[in-house]
A and B are shown apart, each in its own frame.
Chain A
């Protein structure tokens, strides 16, 4: 369970995030949606302790994010930012192997190698494992980054727009993989999504944010309602029943 209480972050007098009070239950996929600048990524990065908050407390599985040692938190929660660019030249397997650092401190054991192999297989990267990241397509690279976070073996996984730059096929694949992560491995996945229909189809819960505040939190059925989405996104949205569930139409 992720518990956020009274979270506030002030960028300037006019741009503030919060106050946010939110409880994300353990298990399943929770999608953060909302218009640009709503504070989704900021909230996620604060929860993942990459950014400091100005006020409020965050507890992940009972551990306070600001007071728990970073090296212990690294075994509880992992986070992947939207932009990833490394000057270091790495193969897929080496990158995924870095995810084991909190457990092995850089001295990889047989158990680590097994975990690395599992993460690579999980994201269908076995044939690419010795390729360098700069020899991969955007979608493959994105999968490698997520595999690294998975390999960290944390109960909580935070992903900031993992579908960014992915085409239709790879977006669907990525979401299917993440669904598998949540269902088969029992992890809690919190993910920032831009496409409300991906959230509606794959997420177990949707958290809608606007102007730095959480405005809606509920199941996809509760959120995918004309009136709610129109209000959250400031755009006329109509929800229709599609072949595989409800769809939001806003084109």
Chain B
């Protein structure tokens, strides 16, 4: 697997000292030896967790190897062969970045807002991206797409999206209107409004311009340009790493404002920091590959279903690995079976959505 996922993924960095190794019964163990206060209630859950992580890692490795090596048309060892391999490896890195961004951002966002049925995608990030892309084509014609390609443009897009969300969070979460529900609602309404403006402009495009635009608006791994990576990788690792490092605080924040304050954390400061990091992650992935509305939500929900723990240190790796299996798998299937490597969002919504419904209906809770 690429270095992106590895640097933030599970394994060695997780301290295991506080985790039960054997299930001592209340009768025999002393008070200090009774366990289950940490991330996992029972040793069985812990065992299940590591089996899960092992399985997902294995699947991820298989998918990664598949994407890079499957069906290379050039003979082994030639310059062309390595060139193709290198291009595929770049796509793999893009997938890894997108997955880390989406998974970590959505899990953190849900904890910060105490809401498991929401995703940062609907808070206007994607609508803003769509509006900017559409506006470029609307005002500049087909050359507008190329006007938005390039490293400075990528950086500008990230800055715009982070700025937009900081304005929203900063304004709505400070002062006397410090209300999370209002912030979410305003975010959704603004997102909807931007979406409508974009739709309006799209209606007035010529069919050929519209065609070019549509390709940009599907979340697609091939949208990404390798030259963006030197900027996207540090952003992704920096923000996701900080959130990972603050996992213990996120565990508290997920219990809500009153409990957080009672336990001695400054709730508003913590929330603002989390939302800032989330906006950096979401802006990076959206500017890189375009909107993938459903992926983050799907991955976060499945991770909570699979991981059977509330502890973010353990939820993040599962979310990232699940995301990699879904997005990488979708990319592999589309590329090698349907020869349509573009629109991964379609297969994510079809297959991922079905898996999601199955898990939810079987367990009956979020």
Contacts and interface: CB of A to CB of B under 8 A. Distances in A.
B256 A86 contact: yes
A130 B263 CA distance: 22
Given A90-B310, A105-B248, A49 B261 contact: yes
Nearest to A79: B262
B357 interface: no
A88 B254 contact: yes
B251 interface: yes
Contact of B264 (A74, A130, A132): A74
A248 interface: no
B238 interface: no
A197 to B, nearest CB: 29
Interface in A70-111: 70-75, 78-81, 84-91, 93-94, 96-102, 105-108, 110-111
A118 interface: yes
Given A86-B256, A90-B310, A101-B252, A117 B38 contact: no
Nearest to A90: B310
Interface string A179-212: 0000000000000000000000000000000000
A106 B262 contact: no
B264 A93 contact: no
A87 B115 contact: yes
Contacts of B37: 93-94, 96-97, 100, 108, 112-113, 116
B36 interface: yes
B114 to A, nearest CB: 5
A70 B255 contact: no
Interface in A108-126: 108, 110-114, 116-118, 121, 126
Given A87-B114, A98-B252, A117 B258 contact: no
B255 A78 contact: no
B18 interface: yes
Contacts of A64: none
Contact of A107 (B18, B32, B256, B261): B18
A108 B38 contact: yes
Contacts of A102: 263-264
A50 interface: yes
Contact of A126 (B18, B26, B263, B265): B26
Contact of B31 (A71, A78, A79, A117): A117
B266 A70 contact: yes
B6 interface: no
Contacts, number: 113
A50 B36 contact: no
A106 B264 contact: no
A28 interface: no
Interface string A41-55: 000000011100000
B32 A117 contact: yes
Contacts of A75: 264
B37 to A, nearest CB: 3
Contact of B32 (A70, A99, A101, A113): A113
B88 interface: no
B259 interface: yes
A74 B263 contact: yes
A181 B116 CA distance: 36
Contacts of B263: 74, 98-99, 101-102, 152
A129 interface: yes
**Residues of B in contact with A, size category:** 35 or more
A126 B25 CA distance: 11
Contact of A91 (B36, B258, B365): B36
Contacts of B116: 87
Interface string B15-33: 1001000000010001111
A84 B114 CA distance: 12
A126 B110 CA distance: 31
Contacts of A94: 36-38, 41, 310
Interface in B233-287: 248-249, 251-252, 254-259, 261-266
A78 B32 contact: no
B85 interface: no
Contacts of A89: 304, 310, 365
A136 to B, nearest CB: 14
Contacts of B18: 107-108
A72 B266 CA distance: 12
Interface in B32-51: 32-38, 41-42
Contacts of B114: 87
Closest A-B pairs by Cβ, 5 of them: A74-B264, A106-B248, A97-B37, A117-B31, A71-B264
Given A89-B304, A132-B41, 9 more contacts: A70-B264, A87-B116, A89-B310, A98-B259, A111-B32, A113-B35, A117-B31, A117-B32, A130-B36
Interface of B: 15, 18, 26, 30-38, 41-42, 110, 114-116, 248-249, 251-252, 254-259, 261-266, 304, 310, 365-366
Interface of A: 48-50, 69-75, 78-81, 84-91, 93-94, 96-102, 105-108, 110-114, 116-118, 121, 126-127, 129-130, 132, 134, 149, 152
29 contacts: A49-B261, A50-B258, A69-B264, A75-B264, A86-B255, A87-B110, A87-B366, A88-B251, A88-B255, A89-B310, A90-B310, A91-B41, A93-B36, A94-B310, A96-B37, A97-B38, A98-B263, A101-B263, A102-B264, A106-B251, A108-B18, A111-B32, A113-B32, A113-B34, A113-B37, A114-B32, A117-B34, A130-B42, A152-B262
